Chain A
Amino acid sequence: MAVILGRARAVVGQNVPKVDGIPLATGQPKFTLDLDFPGALVGKILYSPHAHAEILAIDTSEAERVPGVACILHYGNVPRVPYTTAGQGWPEPSPYDTVLFDRKVRYVGDRVAAVAAETEEAALEALQKIRVEYRILPAVFTIDEALAPGAPIIHDEPDAQGIYDPQRNIAAAVDIPIGDLARGFAESDVIVEETCEIPYSQHCALEPHCVLAYFDEDGRLVLRTSTQVPFHVRRIVSRVLGIPLSRIRVVKPRIGGGFGSKQEVILEPVAAALALRTGRPVRMALTREEVLVSTRTRHPYRVRVKLGAKRDGTLHALEMEALGNTGAYGAHAGTVLYNVGSKSLPLYNKARHLRFHGKAVYTNLPVAGAYRGYGATQAFFALEVAMDELAEKLGMDPLELRLKNHIREGESSPIFEKLGEGREGKAQIIRSCKLAEALRIGAERIGWYEKRRNPRREGPWAYGVGLACAMQGSGITGIDMAAATLLMNEDGSFRLLVGATDLGTGSDTVLAQIAAEALGVPVEKVLVYSSDTDFTPFDTGAYASSTTYVSGNAVLRAAEEVKRQILEVAAEMLEEPVEGLVLERERVVSRRTGRSVSLAEVGHRATYVANQRQIGATASFACPESPPPFAAFFCEVAVDTETGVVRVERFVVVADCGQPIHPKLAEGQLEGAVVQGIGHALYEELLFSERGSCVNRSFFDYRIPTALDVPEIEAILVPSEEPTGPFGAKSIAEVGINGPLPAISNAIYHAVGVRLTRAPFTPERVLAALKAKGR
C-alpha cells in the first residue's frame, strides 16, 4: 500500500526482487529435507500419554526386534545434561530444567524415547512396542492450581539450575517498583483496572520442524536444520552431547517460517544423538500434530493493568501484573516475562509511578516458548484495552489519549534501565519516533472521527472501530552480536557471508541491499550466503527483531571497510589520493579529472596484477541499544448481535520502522503479523482434556486464518531516521502482532458495548458477553 518514502537512495528503500525469489517460486530444492541421503535412518519420537508421571521402567526388547530398527534412546542410555531448549545468547537466561530424556514426564506430549529405523513404518512400529511403566502423579493445568499450596512439584529434580522457586512451581519472577505507586494512584483523578487473558496458541509455520544429521568425510557432525539460531544449535548440541564445538557444523538452508518456534533447539540434539549412536545419517521431520503439541507455543498470560490518570488525561500511575504459564519447561520463561513489561511500559512514559511484577509458572501442559511479539503481545492486549477504558472514563477520544501520553523523540523511560532480558537492562533514549504521525495517518485512512461519532448498524450487524498502539525493540541490548564477511570477486561482484538467518523474512535481500547501497552496486552484484557455522561468521540468530538492525549494521560496517580498500586500489590505478575519489554506479571516479576505473578493473588488479590481495572485511556489531519500532493499529469490525460472530472488515496498520530497506518486505511483515493477530483474536486456542491432553491437535479443529479470512489490510510505513540503524532502519518483524487483539477488542466495544478480555473472541464468548450485558 501507500508508502511515504524517505530519502531517495539507489538500492535501499527500493523494492528489488528478492535474492532467493526465483528459486523459491520455481520450487528449487532449497529446504532442509530437499537434500536426500540414501540410506538415512528415520528418527521418530515416543511421547508421554500422561500429564505428570514417573517412569518406573522402559522395556525396549520387543521394539528392538522390529526389523530395521537401528537404535532406541531413552533416559537409561543417554547422558543426563540439564539444559534449556531456548536458543538464546550467553549466559543463557532460561532455566536448565530439561534433559534429553528424563525419568519423569511433565505433560502429555513430553519426550520419552526416540527410535531410528530404516523406514518410517519400522520406526512407528517400534514406538508402539516400547513398553513404558509409569507411576502417575497428580498434575496441575492452570496457573492458580500450580501456585496453590500443596500443589505437586513439577521440577523436583535436584540437578535443575536457574529455576526461581521450584518448590512453588515458579520458573521466573519479577517485581520492579518505580516511584511510589500508592501515592501515584492516590494523586490520580481517574483510575481503571482491567485483566486480559491469552490462551495457548501455536506458530503454525508452514514447514514443520525438521533436521538431517550426518557425518561428513572428516567425521564431523553436520546438522542441516530448519532453525532460527544455527550458532545456538551448535553450542547447545555441543554441550548436551559432549562433542567439541569444532566437531559440529550447522547448516541453515531456506526455512519455511519460524515465528519463534525455531528459536528452540528441539529436534537437533535428538537427531544428533541418534546419528552418533548409529554412525548413520538420520532424518527427522515432525508431523503437524507433533508441532502443535510437542514443540513450543505462545506463553498463555493473564495480565492485569491498573492505570491512574490526571483529569487532563496524563497518565500518572501504572501497575502491570503478569501471570504467565510456561508449561512443563521454562523455555524463555523469564525473558518473555521481563519483555511483557520492557516492551510495553516505555510506550507511555508519562506515568511517574510504576510497578511491574509477575511470575512465570510451570504447569503440566505443553511448553511455551518464543513467539513473535514475545510478551509484548500479551502486554499490549491488556494495556491497550485498559487505555480504551481510561479514555471512556475521561470522556476523551482514545486517539487523543494516546497522543497525550506516548513517548517522543529525545525522551526515555526508566523501564529501559530496570528491565532487560531476564535481568536489568540498559538506559536508552528514543532517537526516532513517528507514532504521532502514524496515529494521524491511520485515523484518516480508517475514517476514525466520523466512524466513532456515527457507528453504523445494519440489521443485526453492529459496526465499530477501535485502535491500539504498540512498540517492540530492535535486537537485544548488550547481548546480540552479528558479524558479516564481505569479499570482492575479481569481476567486481561481492560475496556476502552472514550468520544472520533468513527464515523466510527476506533478510538475505535486505542485507544484500545494505551492502549494495554502501558499495554503489546493484543488488545482483552481491551474492548472499546465510547461514552455515563453518563458513559464515557468528550471529546470535533471527529473533528479537534483530536482523535488519544488528546484522544490518554489521554488514554496513564490513561494506564500509571494503569500500575503503577498493578506493585504495583505485587510488593506485588513478594515481590520485583516496580523498579525491568517489564510488558510484560500479565505478571509482576522480572528482578532479572525471577519470574512472570500474570495480571489475579494481577487482582484477587486486587479484592478479599488482599489490595482490583479497579485498574483503569481516565486521561485527554488538547491539548497544534497541531502538523500538512503533505502530498504530486501526480496525473496523462488524458484530452479529444475534449470534456473536465477529467479522474484521478492515484493518489499517501504520508503522515507523525507521527507513524501510525494502518497503514491500516490511509491509509484508506487517500484513502477516496482523493476520496472525486476527487468528489470535478470533479463533486460535489449543484446548485440553481434563487429563491435560490437547484435543484439537490438527488444523481441522485448530483454526488459523486462511487467505479467505483476510480482510482488507492497509499497511503503511511512516519512515523516521534512526541514527543508530543501518541507513536509518529499525525493526519491523514483531511489532505488527501486538495490535490486533486490543484493536479488535476495542472495536467490538465500540460496536456493541461489551469488553472482550479473554481471547479468542469466539461467537460463544461474544454472545455470552452481550447477554450478560442485557443487549
Chain B
Amino acid sequence: MRLRGVRRYHWARDVDEALSLLAAYQGKGALLAGGVDLARSPRTDLEGLIDITGIGLTYLRAEAAGLRLGATTTLAEVLGHPQAEGYAGGILRETLRQVAYPALRHMATLGGAVVSAHPWADIPTLLVALGAEVRYRSAEGEKRAPLEDLYGTDFRRVFRESVLLEVVLPAWAGAFAFEKIGRNAGDIALLNVCAGLGLVEGRIAWARVAVGGRPERGERLPWLEGMLVGERPSPALWERAAEEVRARLEVGSDRRASAEWRREVAGVLVRRALLRAAGKAALCASTSS
C-alpha cells in the first residue's frame, strides 16, 4: 500500500498558502495536482498532501509570444483546447494523443509531467524541443528559467521547494513533429523524438531536435541542429541526419530495449520527424506568404 504515512490533506487557496504548507512539512509534504505520479510513489515518509488544483493554475492562453499553460492544466484539457490545435504545426495534439490513456490524461497535469520528468516520458522531450520556459515560485520569490537549463541542474530539489506556476511555449515560425515507439498503445516510450524546423526561402532557418527514452530523459542534439541550419530539405539531408544520430547519439540498454536497437531506430525516428516537420513547415510557409 502506497503513501501509508499520509495523515492530512490540505486544499490550498493560493500559491502562497501552498508554499507555506510545503515549508511547514519540512520535506514530508507533497503537492497534489493530478496525482498520477504520487499514486505510484514509493515514499512512505509523506505526511501531508497539498492540493493545488484550486489555486488558479488551470488555463491555456494564446499570446503573440506563444502559449502559456497553467501547471495544473490536464493533458486532456490541452488536447481539447482550440488554441493548442494550431500551435507549431499541431505538435501538442500530435504528442499528447500518444501519452498514456484517455482516463489518465484526464488526471495527469502538464506541471506534473514537468516536475516528475521521467526519463521514458514524452512530455520532457516535447518541451525541451519546443524551448519551453517554466515559471515557478519558492520562498525566495518567483523565477523563470528555460526548462532545458533547469533539467541540467538539481531540478528535483528546486521543485520540492517550489510551486510550478506555468509552462511558457514560444511562438515558432515553422513546425514540429513527434515520433514514438512504445510496446503497445498507451505505453511509455522505448524511444521518442521531437523535431522542428523553420524554412526561409527554401532553406532551414532553425532546427530543434530532442531524443528521449534513450533510456535517459529527452535532450536536444545541438550538433545535429547545427548541421541542418542553412541546408535545403531533402531526403538525402534527412538520411545524413539519421546517420549522424546513429554515429553520435548517446544511448543505453535497459530491460525494455538495447542500446543497439535504440541507436539504429533513433536515426530512423529523427529522419521521419524531420521529414514530417519539414512538410508541415513548408505548408506553414506557403500559407503565410
B42 CB within 8 Å of chain A: no
B157 CB within 8 Å of chain A: no
**Is the CB–CB distance between B1 and A124 below 8 Å?**
yes
**Is the CB–CB distance between B4 and A121 below 8 Å?**
yes
A607 CB within 8 Å of chain B: no
**Is the CB–CB distance between A703 and B268 below 8 Å?**
no
* Bound Cα distance from A124 to B2, whole angstroms: 11
Chain A residues near B268 (CB-CB < 8 A): 460, 642-643
A75 CB within 8 Å of chain B: no
**Is the CB–CB distance between A762 and B183 below 8 Å?**
yes
Which residues of B in the span 252-285 have a Cβ within 8 Å of any Cβ on A? 255-258, 261, 264-265, 268-269
**Is the CB–CB distance between B181 and A764 below 8 Å?**
no
Chain B residues near A700 (CB-CB < 8 A): 40, 188
A645 CB within 8 Å of chain B: yes
**Is the CB–CB distance between B184 and A695 below 8 Å?**
no
- Which partner residue on chain A sits nearest B182 by CB separation? A703
Contact with B along A612-646 (1 / 0, CB 8 A): 00000000000000000000000000000011110
**Is the CB–CB distance between B184 and A703 below 8 Å?**
yes
A767 CB within 8 Å of chain B: yes
Contact with A along B73-103 (1 / 0, CB 8 A): 0000000000000000000000000000100
A522 CB within 8 Å of chain B: no
**Is the CB–CB distance between A120 and B1 below 8 Å?**
yes
B185 CB within 8 Å of chain A: yes
Main SS of the interface on chain A? loop
Given contact pairs A708-B101, A763-B181, A695 touches B261 in the complex (Cβ within 8 A):
no
| B255: contacting residue among A643, A645, A682, A695, CB under 8 A | A695
| A61–chain B nearest beta-carbon distance, Å | 23
* Bound Cα distance from A124 to B1, whole angstroms: 9
* Bound Cα distance from A120 to B1, whole angstroms: 9
* Bound Cα distance from A680 to B269, whole angstroms: 26
**Is the CB–CB distance between A763 and B265 below 8 Å?**
yes
| B177–chain A nearest beta-carbon distance, Å | 15
* Bound Cα distance from A643 to B264, whole angstroms: 8
A709 CB within 8 Å of chain B: yes
- Which partner residue on chain A sits nearest B179 by CB separation? A643
Which residues of B in the span 111-145 have a Cβ within 8 Å of any Cβ on A? none
Contact with B along A681-704 (1 / 0, CB 8 A): 011000100000001100011010
Chain B residues near A703 (CB-CB < 8 A): 183-184, 187
- Which partner residue on chain B sits nearest A687 by CB separation? B255
Chain A residues near B264 (CB-CB < 8 A): 767
* Bound Cα distance from A708 to B103, whole angstroms: 13
Chain A residues near B4 (CB-CB < 8 A): 121, 124
Chain A residues near B256 (CB-CB < 8 A): 701
B165 CB within 8 Å of chain A: no
* Bound Cα distance from A455 to B257, whole angstroms: 30
| B257: contacting residue among A683, A696, A764, CB under 8 A | A764
**Is the CB–CB distance between B101 and A706 below 8 Å?**
yes
Contact with B along A452-488 (1 / 0, CB 8 A): 0000000010000000000000000000000000000
A89 CB within 8 Å of chain B: no
| A52–chain B nearest beta-carbon distance, Å | 22
What bracket does the count of chain A residues touching chain B fall in?
20 to 34
**Is the CB–CB distance between A682 and B184 below 8 Å?**
yes
Which residues of A in the span 646-702 have a Cβ within 8 Å of any Cβ on B? 682-683, 687, 695-696, 700-701
**Is the CB–CB distance between A643 and B186 below 8 Å?**
no
Chain B residues near A695 (CB-CB < 8 A): 255
* Bound Cα distance from A695 to B40, whole angstroms: 16
* Bound Cα distance from A521 to B220, whole angstroms: 71
B190 CB within 8 Å of chain A: yes
Which residues of B in the span 197-242 have a Cβ within 8 Å of any Cβ on A? none
| B172–chain A nearest beta-carbon distance, Å | 27
Chain A residues near B1 (CB-CB < 8 A): 120-121, 124
**Is the CB–CB distance between B185 and A767 below 8 Å?**
no
Which residues of A in the span 345-386 have a Cβ within 8 Å of any Cβ on B? none
* Bound Cα distance from A709 to B187, whole angstroms: 11
Given contact pairs A695-B255, A696-B255, A708-B101, A763 touches B190 in the complex (Cβ within 8 A):
yes
| B52–chain A nearest beta-carbon distance, Å | 25
A705 CB within 8 Å of chain B: yes
Q: How many A-B residue pairs have CB under 8 A?
A: 53
**Is the CB–CB distance between A706 and B181 below 8 Å?**
no
Given contact pairs A121-B1, A687-B255, A696-B255, A643 touches B265 in the complex (Cβ within 8 A):
yes
Chain A residues near B257 (CB-CB < 8 A): 763-764
Given contact pairs A687-B255, A696-B255, A705 touches B184 in the complex (Cβ within 8 A):
yes
Which residues of A in the span 699-758 have a Cβ within 8 Å of any Cβ on B? 700-701, 703, 705-706, 708-709
| B116–chain A nearest beta-carbon distance, Å | 14
The residue in B40, B190, B265 that gathers the most chain A C-beta atoms within 10 A of its C-beta is B265
| B263–chain A nearest beta-carbon distance, Å | 11
| A711–chain B nearest beta-carbon distance, Å | 11
Contact with A along B37-75 (1 / 0, CB 8 A): 000100000000000000000000000000000000000
**Is the CB–CB distance between A764 and B261 below 8 Å?**
yes
Chain A residues near B183 (CB-CB < 8 A): 682-683, 703, 762
| B270–chain A nearest beta-carbon distance, Å | 12
* Bound Cα distance from A120 to B4, whole angstroms: 11
Chain B residues near A706 (CB-CB < 8 A): 101, 184-186
Chain A residues near B181 (CB-CB < 8 A): 643, 645, 763
Chain A residues near B186 (CB-CB < 8 A): 706, 708
**Is the CB–CB distance between A763 and B255 below 8 Å?**
no
Chain B residues near A643 (CB-CB < 8 A): 181, 265, 268-269
Chain B residues near A642 (CB-CB < 8 A): 265, 268
* Bound Cα distance from A615 to B251, whole angstroms: 75
Chain A residues near B184 (CB-CB < 8 A): 682-683, 703, 705-706, 708-709
Which residues of B in the span 167-200 have a Cβ within 8 Å of any Cβ on A? 181, 183-188, 190
| B261: contacting residue among A124, A701, A763, CB under 8 A | A763
* Bound Cα distance from A701 to B101, whole angstroms: 15
* Bound Cα distance from A768 to B262, whole angstroms: 12
* Bound Cα distance from A768 to B258, whole angstroms: 11
Given contact pairs A695-B255, A708-B185, A767 touches B101 in the complex (Cβ within 8 A):
no
- Which partner residue on chain A sits nearest B269 by CB separation? A643
The residue in A645, A701, A763, A768 that gathers the most chain B C-beta atoms within 10 A of its C-beta is A763
Given contact pairs A124-B1, A703-B184, A705-B184, A644 touches B255 in the complex (Cβ within 8 A):
no
| A718–chain B nearest beta-carbon distance, Å | 31
Contact with B along A529-551 (1 / 0, CB 8 A): 00000000000000000000000
Chain A residues near B188 (CB-CB < 8 A): 700
* Bound Cα distance from A695 to B256, whole angstroms: 11
Chain A residues near B258 (CB-CB < 8 A): 764
Chain B residues near A682 (CB-CB < 8 A): 183-184
* Bound Cα distance from A682 to B188, whole angstroms: 16
* Bound Cα distance from A700 to B185, whole angstroms: 12
* Bound Cα distance from A643 to B170, whole angstroms: 32
| B108–chain A nearest beta-carbon distance, Å | 14
Q: Which 8 A-B pairs have the closest CB atoms?
A: A708-B185, A642-B268, A764-B261, A683-B183, A703-B183, A643-B265, A709-B184, A703-B184
Q: List 7 interface pairs A-B (beta carbons < 8 Å), by A numbering.
A: A124-B4, A644-B265, A695-B255, A703-B187, A708-B186, A709-B185, A762-B183
